[in-house]
């Protein structure tokens, strides 16, 4: 039984998403108060044969009191039973539950769940329970299809977001150095490896000790080619792309930058939120989280005009590819309530596409509540500017960024460590890609061969 078809037809569902929820803060119970228009849309409601969904996790969804949970409770009479585990033990706990025929119904998606968990038959396909052709999945469908296994969908992401950007200080880059703002270059489609390279060359030559770029993995440059280090075909074939010409091009660009001493050494990465304090790093590659917090970039440079852009486009491509992260759930093998789990996944997707909730999130990001320490002194609270927030959220709009997800970290710890060592050697030590690749290739291929389907 496909949940989305029980709920409502596609066109009506999209219009309904415009008015499902209006958030207005806390109602005194710890959960957001909201008004529901579902009384006028009875067809959106469903009856579950089993309303209790078991969730194996280190986090209790009941404590989070999300809008998705309230939708699930109100529209299905559903509830979540928390099955506790630790973050470190989650996969062992899952394997034991499946082995003892005590499977939960929901499991938080993590990188190693796909394709490792698929190969070991730890999850259930959802195509017979969720109408994936429903318009609520339209925007996220391209990334959803990258998680297809043997022709079926086991993971339906409910949200997607850029997981790393290049941070910079306009006071340095624009006002002091006189460079064109990368945001303006991006808006014109001219933010490429070439324009990035020109800036970091000039900046490092301007003063001894200057660093053009430092931060996260070389994998983010690889993603801009639209090619991943490891691909998983819809049939479940594991494909090692390390010898592809696209990756060769990206790694030779990094090799060139390293040979010209445009990238910083490891010590600079661990400056954390103080990375831009000294004005000697032009671009700092890190997640957007580094902006906030009591010791983030904004707290350390409160009067500066900080901004960020996606990683620069591969000039050999007309498409702006970028690495992406997703959130969502998977249904473990042997679940006794796949229908209920599927309904909860849909509620989470509805929460993430509701425009009223998006506007509420924007307002809270621009105007966060003040915080105080134990003595009543105000604490630093990061607030996005309108330009920052609107630019960040625009990346999910159609015809903007084309997201790619690299399955290189979806296998086992040994494979994770090998990829990290290889990429670290290229980004930090400045090795020859041809030599480094051929040294690591057989080690990686040997691990990937363990997941070959018969």
* CATH code for the part of the protein at 3-160+326-361: 3.40.190.10
Give the side-chain half-sphere CA count within 13 A for 43: 9
Dmax (CA) for the chain in angstroms is: 69
pTM: 0.87
Taking domain 165-323+404-449, whether its CATH number is 3.40.30.10 is answered by: no
Tokens 């084309």 — which residue? Answer: 402
Q: d(Cα 311, Cα 185) in Å, to the nearest integer?
A: 12
- Residue 354's Cβ-side half-sphere holds a number of Cα atoms within 13 Å equal to 23
Give CA–CA dist 156/336, Å, rounded: 19
Three-state SS for 123?
Answer: strand
Along the 454 residues of the chain, how does pLDDT read in single tens digits?
A: 565 443 433 322 333 333 333 333 343 333 333 333 333 223 346 789 999 999 999 999 999 878 899 999 988 999 999 999 999 999 999 999 999 999 999 999 999 899 999 999 999 999 999 999 998 999 999 999 999 999 999 999 999 999 899 999 999 999 999 999 999 999 999 999 999 999 999 999 999 999 999 887 889 999 999 999 999 998 889 999 999 999 999 999 999 998 899 998 755 556 889 999 999 999 999 999 999 988 999 999 999 999 999 999 999 999 999 999 999 999 999 999 999 999 999 999 999 988 888 898 899 999 999 888 888 888 888 999 999 999 999 998 878 999 999 999 999 999 999 999 999 888 777 779 999 999 999 999 999 999 987 6
Domains of the chain by residue range: 3-160+326-361, 165-323+404-449
Q: 3-160+326-361 and 165-323+404-449 share one CATH topology?
A: yes
Cα dihedral sign, 220-226-227-233: positive
């Amino acid at each position: 039984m496909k949940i989305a078809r029980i709920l409502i037809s596609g066109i009506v569902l999209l219009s309904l998403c415009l008015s499902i929820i209006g958030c207005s803060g806390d109602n005194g119970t710890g959960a957001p108060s909201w008004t529901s228009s579902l009384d006028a849309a009875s067809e959106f409601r469903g009856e579950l044969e089993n309303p209790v969904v078991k969730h194996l996790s280190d986090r209790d969804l009941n404590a989070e009191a999300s809008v998705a949970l309230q939708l699930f409770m109100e529209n299905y009479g559903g509830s979540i039973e928390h099955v506790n585990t630790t973050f470190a033990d989650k996969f062992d706990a899952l394997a034991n539950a499946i082995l003892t025929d005590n499977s939960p119904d929901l499991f938080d998606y993590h990188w190693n769940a796909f394709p490792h968990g698929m190969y070991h038959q730890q999850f259930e396909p959802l195509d017979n329970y969720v109408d994936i052709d429903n318009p609520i999945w339209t925007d996220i469908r391209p990334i959803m299809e990258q998680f297809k296994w043997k022709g079926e969908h086991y993971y339906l992401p409910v949200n997607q977001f850029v997981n790393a950007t290049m941070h910079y200080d306009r006071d340095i880059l624009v006002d002091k150095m006189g460079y064109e703002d990368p945001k303006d270059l991006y808006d014109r489609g001219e933010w490429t490896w070439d324009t990035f390279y020109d800036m970091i060359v000039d900046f490092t030559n301007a003063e001894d000790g200057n660093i053009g770029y430092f931060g996260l993995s070389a994998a983010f440059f690889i993603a801009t080619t639209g090619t991943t280090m490891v691909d998983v075909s819809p049939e479940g074939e594991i494909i090692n792309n390390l010898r592809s010409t696209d990756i060769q091009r990206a790694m030779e660009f990094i090799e060139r930058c390293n040979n010209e001493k445009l990238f910083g050494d490891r010590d600079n990465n661990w400056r954390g939120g103080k990375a831009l304090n000294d004005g000697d790093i032009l671009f700092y590659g890190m997640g957007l989280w580094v902006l906030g917090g009591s010791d983030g970039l904004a707290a350390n440079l409160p009067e500066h005009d900080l901004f960020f852009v996606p990683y620069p486009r591969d000039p050999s491509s007309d498409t702006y590819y970028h690495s992406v992260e997703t959130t969502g759930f998977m249904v473990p093998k042997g679940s006794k309530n796949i229908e209920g789990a599927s309904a909860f996944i849909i509620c989470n997707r509805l929460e993430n596409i509701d425009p009223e909730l998006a506007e509420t999130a924007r307002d809270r990001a621009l105007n966060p509540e003040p915080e105080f320490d134990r003595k009543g002194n105000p604490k630093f609270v990061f607030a996005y500017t309108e330009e920052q927030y609107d630019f960040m959220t625009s990346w999910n709009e159609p015809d903007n960024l084309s997201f790619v997800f690299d399955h290189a970290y979806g296998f086992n710890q040994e494979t994770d460590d090998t990829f990290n060592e290889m990429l670290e050697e290229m980004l930090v030590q400045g090795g020859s890609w041809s030599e480094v690749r051929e040294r690591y290739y057989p080690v990686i291929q040997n691990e990937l061969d363990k997941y070959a389907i018969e």
